[in-house]
Structure 1
Amino acid sequence: MLRSELQLSLRFRIVAVLAAVLVSGAVALGVVAWHSAAVAAQQAYDRLLSGGAVQIAENVFVQGATVAVEPPVSAIATLSAYDLVFYKVVDPRGVVIAGYEDLASDADPVAARRGTVLEDGQYLGQPVRIATLAREVDLPDSRGWVTIVIAQTVEARRALAWDLTFKALAIIAVVSLCALAATAWALGLALEPLTRIEREIAGRKPDDLRPIGVAPPVEISALVHAIDGFMRRLSDRMALMQRFIADAAHQIRTPLAALDAQLEILQATPSARRKAEAIQRVRERAAELGRLTGQLLDHAMVIHRSDAMAAQPVALNPLAKSVLAKAVPLSLPREVDIAFLPDAAEPVVAGDAVSLREALGNLIDNALKHGARGRLTVAIGSNEAMGWVEVADDGDGFPAPPETLLPAFAKGEQSTGSGLGLSIAAEVARAHQGELTVLREAGLTRVRLSLARRPR
């Protein structure tokens, strides 16, 4: 339903705009056609009217001492075939020798002597077109000018103008309808790729987030690429969440089972001393479960903030110093030499301070609980492209070579933890265009959290 409304809306808007343009153009062309047709009709009938005046002038002659005229029947009949015709002939004395005496003309006599003068007028209550022409004649004792005035009503002119206009409008209407039909057909072809893309997306399963396979037109290629990018990011996020859920289910199942077993032992233990030992183990398991739950929540938080938070400048020296101060407890079951080595260059990276604190706190906590025997060092370093925080301890390290640990980190040989701390740090490193590396040298295990100084 939504697709149909969208397509109808697009088609309607495009066709409506084109129809408005065509109607406006048709109106303008209609006005031009009417004006052109009126001018053409006027010119055609003016030529006939002027020709009639010339033919009457050619039939004026002098007989004795008077001027006479023999009206050309053919010329009058030709003009009368289209409209009513009136004429008069005035001799040099101003006497009307033929025609209608009350037929008047406002033409300039001097202009009439140079050629036919055409004008609009009224006669017998009707609009007429008047042609005035003067002809010089030789009289026995002088020379004079004979004036010929001929008028014709304008009904035929108007009929011809309307006929030409209607024919032009008919042509304009046919062309406009053809243009609208061609537009509707072209729109169907233009929207077909959108329809194919819609069918492909609608036919997919919910977990199918592959790029769109239909080749888009150039005009919507940016939109399709943006949709592909969105689906790729959504697929990555779904993969992260699925991995997180799987990790959470796996990690929580073990301490819950152990806690349940301890409760059964506690229930079956009769002596007070054994009960106290069982209660202590229950407390330890509960504390372990609490730490694990906190780490899982921290992991989920890091995954969310990696895309949701904008990068901000973060100074590594004060960040690492504050995290180290909070991560080291006031008392430890063993003596550990804690050292902090800042970088004189005062490196600043682009990132999320909350995620970085969480990652660095997990590295320090891992080193204290599962690694360091008597020495822990947090060192800051940098170069032009990267800044890093390195946590080193003198513990036994990891059970496998460092290069085989990434990207899935293993726990230490004596560790009772979940291994999520390093996973969280690795996620933070990837979100900051960096990496988490592990080195074993000179009896020290070095875990380095590298971060890009500028986002790429």
Structure 2
Amino acid sequence: MDWVTSLRLSELRRSLRVRIIAVLTAVLTTGAIVLGFAAWHSSSLAARQAYDRLLSGGAVQIAENIYVQGGVVTVDPPVSAIATLAAYDLVFYKVVDPRGVVVAGYDDLVSDADPVEIRAGVVLEDGVYQGEPVRIASLARQLELPGTNSWTTIVVAQTTEARRALARDLTLKAVGVIAVMSVLALLATAYAVTLALKPLMRIEREIASRRPDDLRPIAAEPPVEIRNLVQAIDGFMQRLSERMAIMQRFIADAAHQIRTPLAALDAQVEILIGTPASRRKAETVKRIHERTAELGRLTGQLLDHAMVIHRKDAAATAAVDLNQLAKSVLAKAVPLSLPREVDIAFVPAEPPPILNGDAVSLREALGNLIDNALRHGAHSRLVVTVGDVGGGAWIEVADDGDGFSAPVTELLRPFAKGVNSSGSGLGLSIAMEVAQAHKGSLTVSRDDGMTRIRLELASS
């Protein structure tokens, strides 16, 4: 068996239509076999009852034609009754008078019926006569004869071929009806399954005919049974569309933002190449270093932003101690040396707030807020505070800088920068993405000469 055949067999095993039809075929086959046995049993019983009535009636008619003449038991066999029985099978009978003498019929025809029971009515039994299976009817009739024993015994036997033939005929007819009904039921089911799967085929064709970027909801009307499935697919495509839009916008913005420092770096390198060794060359090298650092920082923040977007729905959450997280981020985010003297403080919450979240994303968000405050805000003071409120917690970064030179709503957009800012414009955007991923928000305020950026997080 080649791999193509194996693949087709595997697809058939996974086919919903094939599974339904296979299960129904097994059920119908089992039911047909059971019904066939039931039909055979019922047919055999019906044939036996029908022929037993004829046999009993024949025995009664023979008994009614027995009389006493001259003190001797005499029988006048009813020709019609015997002819009726003989029309279907071989018939044998005998009549035994009260003395035990066979006055008519076959001497060797024997019945095992109880003499007491046959006096009450016809007794039927199975037997063998002349090597043939027979059905035997025994009956006793009391005659007016002198003496204590005045009972005459009548025994009638009939071969069973006719009743077997009748049972066979009835069984075959019943099995034929069962087979036809089973085939019709199977065909109807196959048609019904095909008809029921047509909406799925329409949905399949609609999705297959779409362009890769067409993530609109499915237009085909689904059956009630798969409506939730289609709604789940629509919801998934909507989330995928939103994620793709974010990533496309991010890639476009990133490409635009990276071109600027690269162009500036290229220009500085060209100046450096054409400049002789002098003070100007040292200044050019310094600018190249600054541009390289700027480009490295931008690349790092671009990667951080992409990571935050990816982890927004994919990362598993775990219990996070915000005091410990803020303390460790602050220790790593503050460089060993700063161009100016800055007083840095950390104010933890008591008791420490614990909530479910993505520790990696939270570190990136807080690290960017602290870095922004040190680079573009704080003159001499920076304070990181952790707080706990009902239903959530917050981390605040405050500095004594001059505040923002552009509206906060503008600065929260990716790559948006203040008028005099030389940053990448991604720090606040990263923090906003992380806040939204934790069902929280990012708020900016200014009071007591301090600019405060608060990362609010929900307890979920």
Deviation at 1:359, TM superposition (A): 1.3
Q: 1:132 & 1:7 partners in 2: Cα distance?
A: 63
Counterpart of 2:335 in structure 1 is 329
Q: TM-score, normalised by structure 1?
A: 0.94
Residue 15 of structure 2: SS of its match in structure 1? Answer: helix
Match of 2:271 among 261, 265, 280: 265
| 2:301 partner amino acid | Q
Question: Which amino acid in 2 is paired with 1:431?
Answer: A
Find 1:124's aligned residue among 122, 126, 130. 130
Structure 1 residue 267: Cα displacement: 2.5
Q: Is the 8 A contact 1:319 1:357 kept in 2?
A: yes
Q: Does 1:228 align with 2:240?
A: no
Other structure's SS at 2:143 match: strand
Structure 1 unpaired stretches of 5+? none
- Kept after mapping to 1: 8 A contact 2:414/2:426: no
Show the counterpart of 2:77.
71
CA distance in 2, matches of 1:283, 1:404: 30
User: Could you tell me which residue of structure 1 aligns to residue 375 of structure 2?
Assistant: 369
Correspondent of 2:35 among 25, 29, 33: 29
Distance (whole Å) between structure 2 residues aligned to residue 38 and residue 433 of structure 1:
77
What SS does structure 2 have at the residue aligned with 1:52?
helix
Relative to the length of structure 2, the TM-score reads: 0.93
Is 1:13 the counterpart of 2:19? The answer is yes
- 1:371·1:412 contact (CA, 8 Å) conserved in 2? no
* Counterparts of residues 62-211 of structure 1 (less than 5 Å): 62-139=68-145, 144-211=150-217
CA distance in 1, matches of 2:279, 2:369: 37
Distance 1:348 1:143 in 2: 110
Give the partner amino acid of 1:33. Answer: A
CA distance in 2, matches of 1:447, 1:79: 111
Q: Contact 1:397–1:412 at 8 Å: present in 2 too? A: no
Residue 420 (structure 1) aligned to one of 403, 422, 426: 426
SS of the residue corresponding to residue 212 of structure 2 reads coil
Task: Return the match for 1:279 from 285, 288, 312.
Answer: 285
Task: Compute the RMSD of aligned alpha carbons.
Answer: 2.1
Match of 2:365 among 359, 372, 376: 359
Give the C-alpha shift of residue 143 in structure 1: 5.8
User: Residue 138 of structure 1: SS of its match in structure 2?
Assistant: coil
- CA–CA distance in structure 2, aligned partners of residues 399 and 41 of structure 1: 106
Q: Are residues 7 and 97 of structure 1, via their aligned partners in 2, closer, same or farther at CA, if it must alter by over 3 Å?
A: closer
Partner Cα separation in structure 1 for residue 235 and residue 30 of structure 2: 44
SS of corresponding position for 2:403: coil
1:90 touches 1:146 (CA, 8 Å); kept in 2? yes
Match of 1:445 among 435, 448, 451: 451
| 1:285/1:406 CA distance change after superposition, 3 Å | closer
Runs of 4+ in 1 over 6 A off after TM superposition: none
Find the aligned partners of 1:235 and 1:141 in 2 and give their Cα distance.
113
| Residue 436 (structure 1) aligned with residue 451 (structure 2) | no
Counterpart of 2:218? 212
Q: CA deviation at 1:239?
A: 2.0
TM-superposed deviation, 1:172: 0.8
CA distance in 1, matches of 2:349, 2:382: 17
Q: 1:19 to 1:449 in 2, by over 3 A?
A: same
Looking at structure 2, the residues matched to 287 and 32 of structure 1 have their Cα atoms a distance apart, in angstroms, of: 90
| 2:319 corresponds to | 313
Moved more, 393-402 or 14-23: 393-402
Asked if 2 retains the 8 angstrom alpha-carbon contact of 1:52 and 1:76, the reply is yes
Supply the distance in 1 between the matched residues of 2:405 and 2:291 (Cα, whole angstroms): 24
Q: CA deviation at 1:132?
A: 1.2
